[in-house]
């Protein structure tokens, strides 16, 4: 399927940029292939990503590696229970010399914002990011301040079962285009980590691409073709999360309390276009949508307490839905 909106030269340039970022990532991070793809999708779609795992699995390191490869301004915010909204977005301070209030913009004003352990901050502080993530602007003292065109939030969180964590609201989670969960590395991967540390191969390198390259990818992704049949397919998947009793077995549908919003359909489309570029294509396929189903839906489907008691994972529900929808 040829997309006349994207020339071979444009696609080749896109491939070169993505390859440069990917090679830098693999030189610094062992394994975690799914996280690499999810970070690239987030980058190209100019969205936000939520990464969950137990401590020590390189969530923060992966975020830093991505931003190192791209250049631009980077901010890291360590979330704690006493973190205030003003610590993130900024505040107004009184200047005794001039007798006027001055606006001090917080660390949120950057191209890449790492919110480390976001669910260790209070709900009030978490909500301070909502306007920034959705509107790409912040309000301080009644004044609006536009954030950079390339503005990506990479939030990490620990499992809610751990001490000192707060549950993210549905509205907050819905702002993330993708949620990725990490698993423990294999024995071989962990051995490679030790060997790399011993050889000291983790020295920071120069930026391999720049912000203009990222803007190029983001603009090009908008031109990726997605057929009406693929749009209807992804909408059918999202619709099934809201009307599960009509699609999947009742013994599984009973566990769903809330389905995915329209933002999930938008995320499917935008992430699908990004994944097509990553795979060197100018069009989205149903397989792209399938590959994205966990990342797009796992934080948008709410399960009941009964599901937790019965050890039902959200991925099980997603698999059942995907297998029940006819592929175009």
The Cβ-side half-sphere exposure at 55, using a 13 Å CA radius, reads 9
Q: For position 89, what pLDDT does the model report?
A: 82
Is 115 a member of any domain? no
Q: For position 205, what pLDDT does the model report?
A: 61
Task: Quote the percentage of the chain above a pLDDT of 90.
Answer: 35
Number of other residues whose CB lies within 10 A of the CB of residue 301: 22
Q: For position 160, what pLDDT does the model report?
A: 62
Q: How confident is residue 67, by pLDDT bands cut at 50, 70 and 90? A: confident
Q: How confident is residue 203, by pLDDT bands cut at 50, 70 and 90? A: low
Once rounded to an integer, what is the mean pLDDT over residues 140-165? 78
Number of domains the chain is built from: 1
Q: For position 19, what pLDDT does the model report?
A: 93
Q: For position 16, what pLDDT does the model report?
A: 94
Q: For position 221, what pLDDT does the model report?
A: 94
Q: For position 177, what pLDDT does the model report?
A: 94
pLDDT, greater one: 231 or 303? 231
Q: For position 24, what pLDDT does the model report?
A: 87
Q: Kindly tell me if the per-residue pLDDT of 95 is higher than 80.
A: no
Q: For position 266, what pLDDT does the model report?
A: 95
Q: For position 239, what pLDDT does the model report?
A: 94
What is the full DSSP assignment across 140-182?
Answer: ETTEEEEPPSS-EEEEEE--TTSTT--PPPHHHHHT-SEEEE-
Q: Kindly tell me if the per-residue pLDDT of 33 is higher than 80.
A: yes
Q: Give Cβ neighbours of residue 225 (< 8 Å, ≥ 6 apart).
A: 1, 3, 5, 282, 283, 284
Instruction: Show the CA angle centred on residue 35, arms to residues 34 and 36, nearest 5°.
Output: 90
Q: For position 68, what pLDDT does the model report?
A: 82
CATH of the domain at 234: 1.10.8.80
* Element at 123 (helix H, strand E): helix 123-135
Q: Kindly tell me if the per-residue pLDDT of 305 is higher than 80.
A: yes
Give 204-221 pLDDT, tens digit per residue: 666 788 889 999 999 999
Q: Give Cβ neighbours of residue 114 (< 8 Å, ≥ 6 apart).
A: 60, 63, 64, 67, 74, 75, 76, 77, 154, 155, 156
Q: For position 161, what pLDDT does the model report?
A: 55
Instruction: State if pTM tops 0.85.
Output: yes
Q: Kindly tell me if the per-residue pLDDT of 99 is higher than 80.
A: no
Dist. CA 101–CA 93, nearest whole Å: 5
Is 230 a member of any domain? yes
Place of tokens 């995320």: 267
Which segment of 30-39, 75-84, 90-99, 265-274 scores lowest on mean pLDDT? 90-99
Which segment of 108-117, 135-144, 282-291 scores lowest on mean pLDDT? 135-144
Once rounded to an integer, what is the mean pLDDT over residues 133-158? 83
Dist. CA 98–CA 87, nearest whole Å: 24
Do 231 and 60 contact (CB within 8 A), yes or no? Answer: no
Is 122 a member of any domain? no
Once rounded to an integer, what is the mean pLDDT over residues 18-41? 87
Q: For position 9, what pLDDT does the model report?
A: 92
pLDDT, greater one: 270 or 105? 270
Is 203 a member of any domain? no
Per the document, the length of the chain is 328
Is 267 a member of any domain? yes
Tell me the average pLDDT of the chain: 86
| DSSP bridge partners of 221 | none
DSSP E strands in 246-312: the ranges are: 256-258, 302-303
Q: Kindly tell me if the per-residue pLDDT of 295 is higher than 60.
A: yes
- At 249 the three-state DSSP class reads coil
Q: Which two tokens stand for residue 155?
A: 């939030």
Q: Note down the domain range covering 230.
A: 224-328
Is 262 a member of any domain? yes
Is 76 a member of any domain? no
Q: For position 165, what pLDDT does the model report?
A: 66
Q: For position 229, what pLDDT does the model report?
A: 95
Is 167 a member of any domain? no
Do 214 and 71 contact (CB within 8 A), yes or no? Answer: no
């Amino acid at each position: 399927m040829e997309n006349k909106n994207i020339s071979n030269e444009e696609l080749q340039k896109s491939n070169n940029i993505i390859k440069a970022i990917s090679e830098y990532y693999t030189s610094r991070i062992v394994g975690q292939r799914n996280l690499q793809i999810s970070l690239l999708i987030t980058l190209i779609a100019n969205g936000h990503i939520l990464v969950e795992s137990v401590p020590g699995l390189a969530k923060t390191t992966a975020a830093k590696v991505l931003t190192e490869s791209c250049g631009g301004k980077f901010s890291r915010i360590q979330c704690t229970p006493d973190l205030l909204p003003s610590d993130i977005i900024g505040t107004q301070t009184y200047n005794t010399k001039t007798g006027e209030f001055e606006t001090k913009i917080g660390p949120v004003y950057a191209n890449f914002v790492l919110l480390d352990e976001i669910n260790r901050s209070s709900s009030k502080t978490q909500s301070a990011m909502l306007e920034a993530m959705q509107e790409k602007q912040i309000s301080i003292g009644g004044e609006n301040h536009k954030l950079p065109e390339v503005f990506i939030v990479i939030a990490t969180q620990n499992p809610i079962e751990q001490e000192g964590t707060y549950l993210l609201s549905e509205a907050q989670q819905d702002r993330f285009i993708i949620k990725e969960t990490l698993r423990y590395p294999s024995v071989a991967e962990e051995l490679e980590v030790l060997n790399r540390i011993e050889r000291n191969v983790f020295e920071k390198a120069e930026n391999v691409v720049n912000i203009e390259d990222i803007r190029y990818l983001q603009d090009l992704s908008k031109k990726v073709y997605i057929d009406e049949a693929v749009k209807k397919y992804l909408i059918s998947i999202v619709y099934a999360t809201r009307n599960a009793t009509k699609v999947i077995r009742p013994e599984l549908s009973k566990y769903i309390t809330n389905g995915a919003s329209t933002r999930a359909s938008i995320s499917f489309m935008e992430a699908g276009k990004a994944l097509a570029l990553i795979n060197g294509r100018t069009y989205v396929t149903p397989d792209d949508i399938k590959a994205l189903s966990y990342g797009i839906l796992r934080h948008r489907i709410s399960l009941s307490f009964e599901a937790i008691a019965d050890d039902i994972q959200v991925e099980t529900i997603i698999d059942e839905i995907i297998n029940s929808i006819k592929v175009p």
